[in-house]
Structure 1
Amino acid sequence: MRVVGEIPHPDCKITLFAWNNRYLIKFEQGFLEQTFKIHEYDVTSEADLQALVDETFIHETLTRFEAMGASLRNRLNAIG
């Protein structure tokens, strides 16, 4: 797996990878992570990959992190 870039953001870490004929967009926030896999033929360049990760995409991902965190907390409370 090769790191092809990072996108700075104050609320999460965003790393772009190339691996196995795919690009991966990995978001990390605390103990949670989300990874999006894109076939290398679906974008024409690594620059297109960075353009894909716009503010709307990031906002949607951060909203999903909130839901993931709530889900995990609820399950942990249910067993504890």
Structure 2
Amino acid sequence: MRIIGTIEHPALKITAFKTEDRLSVKFEFGLMEQVFKFREREGLRDFDDVSRMVDKPMLDAVAEIFKTMLHAREQACLRLIPPEEANEFEVII
């Protein structure tokens, strides 16, 4: 797999990859990422095709998925460490 290009965005890191018969687009936001994979026969052949596909509707959908992921991550962390425990300080004498 090799990087074939990046797409500038103010909040996301967007990287396009290519293998022998597949293209992938990875969206990164903080510690989270989403990867979309496409076979060449689905109409994507090169970086220009990927750039055209990453339009406003797709970016809006990716942003919504990241919001859902953030919420799920926060909820999982809260279940692991309840807020009252996270704010307690060790007693120092």
Higher relative contact order (CA 8 A, sep 6+): 1
Q: Which residue of 2 aligns with 1:4?
A: 4
Cα pair distance change 1:54/1:78, threshold 3 Å: same
Greater gyration radius: 2
Aligned CA RMSD, in angstroms, stands at: 1.1
Q: Normalising by structure 2, what TM-score?
A: 0.80
Question: Where is the strand percentage greater, Structure 1 or Structure 2?
Answer: 1
Counting aligned pairs with the same residue, the percent is: 31
Q: Which residue of 2 aligns with 1:39?
A: 39
Q: Normalising by structure 1, what TM-score?
A: 0.92
Map residues 1-80 of structure 1 onto 2, 5 A cutoff. Answer: 1-46=1-46, 47-80=48-81
Segments of 4+ moved more than 2 angstroms:
none
The number of equivalent residue pairs is 80
Cα pair distance change 1:22/1:67, threshold 3 Å: same
Q: Which runs of 5+ in 2 are unaligned?
A: 82-93
